[in-house]
A and B are shown apart, each in its own frame.
Chain A
Amino acid sequence: AQSVTQLGSHVSVSEGALVLLRCNYSSSVPPYLFWYVQYPNQGLQLLLKYTSAATLVKGINGFEAEFKKSETSFHLTKPSAHMSDAAEYFCAVSRKGQGGGGNKLTFGTGTQLKVEL
């Protein structure tokens, strides 16, 4: 079984400060890992993905994440927060080589990012 834990349901940062959103995963097989962003009353937009190539993954809007197998983590960072980054962020895992039965995404409970002036 796979699972994702996002530490901190709410994170608040000042504009221009570092953004760090934490994600730890559990998977019995090598995972695919994803970060999605959701703005109010909208669907999910893919920020970045890890599919076993480089462990440091760069995504859209200046976000990046590093896959650390030893720590089972995939934390999301951005060097300088912008007001437009305020949204909910979801970490998700699926199984590499999942075989029959689909390739469902298992999501964490989300982290609401607030950016203050």
Chain B
Amino acid sequence: ETGVTQSPTHLIKTRGQQVTLRCSSQSGHNTVSWYQQALGQGPQFIFQYYREEENGRGNFPPRFSGLQFPNYSSELNVNALELDDSALYLCASSLKASAYSSSYEQYFGPGTRLTVT
């Protein structure tokens, strides 16, 4: 069983640039959630994708966007990067029976450390 993988591991970008982070979900999972973890803080929910559709969003501006592909892998895109976007970005996959159900467990990847200068 392959776990959740994320790429790249580390990334340095300049303010105003755009970035794409990638996540491969665990085998058999159909749902991907993205979280932002600033230094010294708990993770904050960005959004969730279920079967290629956005299925919930946290308090993040529209310049944070995502995609989920037919194989359930996912991308997180951030436009117009700001210094405060520097954080660890975590992807978590889970299995949901439907868009309206809850999953008991989310399995996290190792994260992508984004630094904006």
Is A105 within 8 A of B106, CB to CB? yes
Residue of B whose beta carbon sits closest to that of A109:
B42
Q: In chain B between 35 and 57, which residues have their CB closer than 8 angstroms to a CB of chain A?
A: 35, 40-45, 47-48, 50, 55-57
Query: Is chain A's interface secondary structure helix, strand, loop, or mixed overall?
Result: loop
Chain B 80-106 per-residue mask, 1 if CB under 8 angstroms from chain A, else 0: 000000000010101010011111111
Residue among A92, A101, A103 making CB contact with B103, cutoff 8 Å: A103
The stretch that binds B, out of A11-19, A45-53, A69-77, A79-87, is A45-53
Chain A 37-49 per-residue mask, 1 if CB under 8 angstroms from chain B, else 0: 0000111111001
Report if B109 contacts A (CB, 8 A).
yes
Which residues on the B side are within 8 Å of A49 (C-beta)?
A: 104-105
How many B residues are at the interface, by size bracket? 20 to 34
Is B42 within 8 A of A32, CB to CB? no
Residue among A90, A97, A98 making CB contact with B42, cutoff 8 Å: A90
Report Cα–Cα, A75/B50, bound state, in Å: 31
Number of A-B contacts (CB under 8 A): 77
Is A103 within 8 A of B48, CB to CB? yes
Is B108 within 8 A of A43, CB to CB? yes
Residue of B whose beta carbon sits closest to that of A50:
B104
Which residues on the A side are within 8 Å of B106 (C-beta)?
A: 46, 105
Is A104 within 8 A of B42, CB to CB? no
Is A101 within 8 A of B107, CB to CB? no
Residue of B whose beta carbon sits closest to that of A98:
B102
Report Cα–Cα, A45/B104, bound state, in Å: 14
Residue among B43, B56, B109 making CB contact with A101, cutoff 8 Å: B56
Binding site for A on B (CB under 8 A): 4, 33, 35, 40-45, 47-48, 50, 55-58, 90, 92, 94, 96, 99-111, 113
Binding site for B on A (CB under 8 A): 4, 32, 34, 36, 41-46, 49, 51, 90, 92, 94-110
**CB<8 Å pairs between A and B, sample of 8:** A36-B108, A49-B105, A101-B55, A101-B56, A103-B103, A104-B33, A105-B92, A110-B41
